[in-house]
Amino acid sequence: MAVTLRFSATDLRRCRFAVSPLLETLSAVRLLSPRESVGPHRRWRDALDTRELDLRPLAALQPRRGYTPDFLSPPPTDPHARFEDELAAVAASDHARVRAEVRRALADTPGAADSPTGRLLLGDPAHVLRTLVATVRRAWEVLVEPVWPQVRGLLDADVGFQTRRLAEGGLDRLFAELHPRLRWHNGVLTREYGDDEHRDMRGEGLALVPSAFKWDQVVVIVDQPWQPTVIYPARGLGTLWQPPPGDRHAALGRLIGKTRAALLLDLDEPASTTTLAHRHALAAGTVSGHLSVLRDAGFVTGQRHRHEIRYRRTPLGEAVLR
């Protein structure tokens, strides 16, 4: 199955980039679930103090597979959106819409509506909305705001890079390497895997939103009130939480090389050459060469998964990191 967007001539001229601190906050909340893999964000997560942070209302509305309320993530209308402005848009949501979308989200998790948190969320929508707005604000303050300068720097760097690619070669050049799961052919953008949805666009254009915390997937949004939107992992994500000087991982970099150490550190979950290349802002051939060295040293091994080879650390690689 796949999601496809068919562009008209007008849509081809109306593609834009945007950054959403609110989207990053919701994605960061999702990464705290024990069911989610944190991937390259382990160092960030391990440094958090969440003992006084109650995220259950937001966690209940973000099922691992299913619907998340649209009112929680309004479309970013500005390339330099401010968190306060985005949160104000959430606070202004229509109460009938809040009730309907909360019910839809809870229905995607068996038993969620009957839990204490679910019963709270099914109460007076005005009170529910105030609770969710306060929870999102607190999540921003604890999870994202302290690291926002470096996260924003990564996102801005991605926008700058992708904008240059768009200027140099149009959408053909942009989508050729934006993400391994995206395919562009004859005016149709396809996201492989996942839901089966199709939309013929009618001049509204496409918003492209890089993300740091939504690190392992590409999300294509076709429902109102969003402008058709593609959320994709930002380029260079593997460098976001680089260890400080003197860290033992930095010492590993001096031993086997900084790039090889970063790739080895990034394999908490199996990943392909193209995924690692995007994440570390490297050419695929460069990554392939480093993986070959790591494989020959016994630090990683590769296993075929459908049409690609995914690499993971071996027990020796795990021991080296420890």
Instruction: Tell me the pLDDT of the chain (322 aa) as tens digits.
Output: 788 899 998 988 888 999 999 999 999 999 998 888 888 898 899 999 998 899 999 999 988 778 889 899 887 877 788 999 999 999 999 999 999 999 999 998 888 889 999 999 999 999 999 999 999 999 999 999 999 999 999 999 999 999 998 888 888 889 988 888 899 999 999 988 767 788 888 888 999 999 999 988 888 888 766 788 999 999 988 888 876 656 667 778 888 888 898 898 888 888 888 888 888 888 888 889 999 989 988 888 888 877 788 898 888 888 887 7
Query: CA 242, CA 288: separation in Å to the nearest integer?
Result: 21
> In terms of residue numbers, what domain contains 160?
2-17+149-235
Query: CA 292, CA 281: separation in Å to the nearest integer?
Result: 18
CATH number at residue 311: 1.10.10.10
Helix (H, G, I), strand (E, B) or coil at 234: coil
* Same domain (yes/no): 12, 104: no
* Same domain (yes/no): 69, 182: no
The residues that bridge with 198 in the sheet, in sequence order, are 4
Question: Which secondary structure element, helix H or strand E, spans residue 308, and what is its range?
Answer: strand 308-313
CB atoms within 10 A of CB 40: 24
Q: What sections of 32-115 are H helices per DSSP? A: 42-46, 56-60, 83-91, 95-107
Domain limit, last residue, from 146, 163, 180: 146
Domain limit, last residue, from 117, 146, 175: 146
* Same domain (yes/no): 129, 181: no
Query: CA 168, CA 137: separation in Å to the nearest integer?
Result: 39
Q: Which residues contact 27 (CB under 8 A, 6 or more apart)?
A: 211, 212, 213, 214
* Same domain (yes/no): 137, 27: yes
The residues that bridge with 301 in the sheet, in sequence order, are 312
* Same domain (yes/no): 256, 229: no
Q: What would the DSSP string read from start to end of 202-223?
A: -S--EEEEEESSS-S--EEE-S
Query: CA 289, CA 252: separation in Å to the nearest integer?
Result: 18
Domain limit, last residue, from 111, 146, 181: 146
The pTM is what?
A: 0.78
Number of domains comprising the chain: 3
